[in-house]
Structure 1
Amino acid sequence: MEYIIIAAKVIIFISIINVWFFRFNKPTEWRGGSANSMKEEFKTYGLSETMMYLVGGLKVLSAVLLLVSIWMPSLALYGAATMAVLMLGAIGMHLKISDPIKRSLPAFIFLVLSLLILAGHYGYL
């Protein structure tokens, strides 16, 4: 189970870095509404650019904490809990604008992976 939790941490890290650094200004099939960039997506949700950078910063910080928690396990709690809350928010935003359920899939997967990491951290797995 330890290797599955490590894999979850790495998957979240790589995915978040990809979205917030490499695909920030590119369209994807997962963007909310008809947005073609992160800025357009947050605007579609009715959120400010400041909120976009705050959310992005928290997601990147959480992803880094998850990666570092492979070697410093106490950080897993902070990274996974923050990521889970952010993913609930992402799902809520997709629901708010009546996106097809498919667009919430990445956020749902990261939510499940974050909960898996938390369960492992607390010894439930």
Structure 2
Amino acid sequence: MTILSIILQVLLGVGFLMFGSMKFGSKQMVEGFKTYGYPGWFRIFTGLVEVVAAVLVIAGIWNETLAAWGGLVIVVTMIGAIFTHIKIKDPAKAMMMPIILLVLGLVVLIINFGSLSL
């Protein structure tokens, strides 16, 4: 486990706990998902996925396999977020945060990939 991975896992874990929990009731998120054309249940589902990803990357500080799985969940989630922004024709700057989070999740996945058991 490298210091870089631990730092990224803490940042991603705290960020995804915050982002995921916001999806459960934030008026901004409710409106955002309506704009994206997604039903309310999908907002809740996305929030749960993000909270699970956060728990995995934080727990991954002590267990590299969990870090790898958490990184993978983040990568897949952020690919979905990027495609959503493309679908609604958002400007590129609206996609910057999902792209950054995708890259950070990918770094955590790559660093811990050796411990990933499929």
Which TM-score bucket, shorter chain as reference? 0.7 to 0.9
Q: Residue 18 of structure 2 corresponds to which residue in structure 1?
A: 18
Aligned residue number for residue 6 of structure 2: 6
RMSD of equivalent CA atoms: 1.8
Retained in 1: the 8 A contact 2:68–2:109?
A: yes
Is 1:99–2:93 an aligned residue pair?
A: no
The percent of aligned pairs where both chains have the same amino acid is: 35
CA distance in 1, matches of 2:110, 2:21: 29
Q: For residues 20 and 51 of structure 2, what CA distance do their matches in structure 1 show?
A: 8
Query: Please, what TM-score do these two structures have when normalized by structure 1?
Result: 0.82
Measured against aligned partners, the alpha-carbon deviations of 1:32-66 in whole angstroms (never above 9, x if no partner) come to xxxxx111111111111101111110111011100
Scaled by the length of structure 2, the TM-score of the pair is 0.87
Report the AA paired with residue 56 of structure 1: G
**Tell me, which stretches of 5 or more residues in structure 2 are unaligned?**
none
Q: CA deviation at 1:77?
A: 2.1
In the alignment, structure 1 segments of 5+ residues that lack a partner are 27-36
Q: Which amino acid aligns with 1:115?
A: L
> Aligned equivalents of 1:21 and 1:51: distance in 2?
14
- Structure in which a larger fraction of residues adopt helix: 2
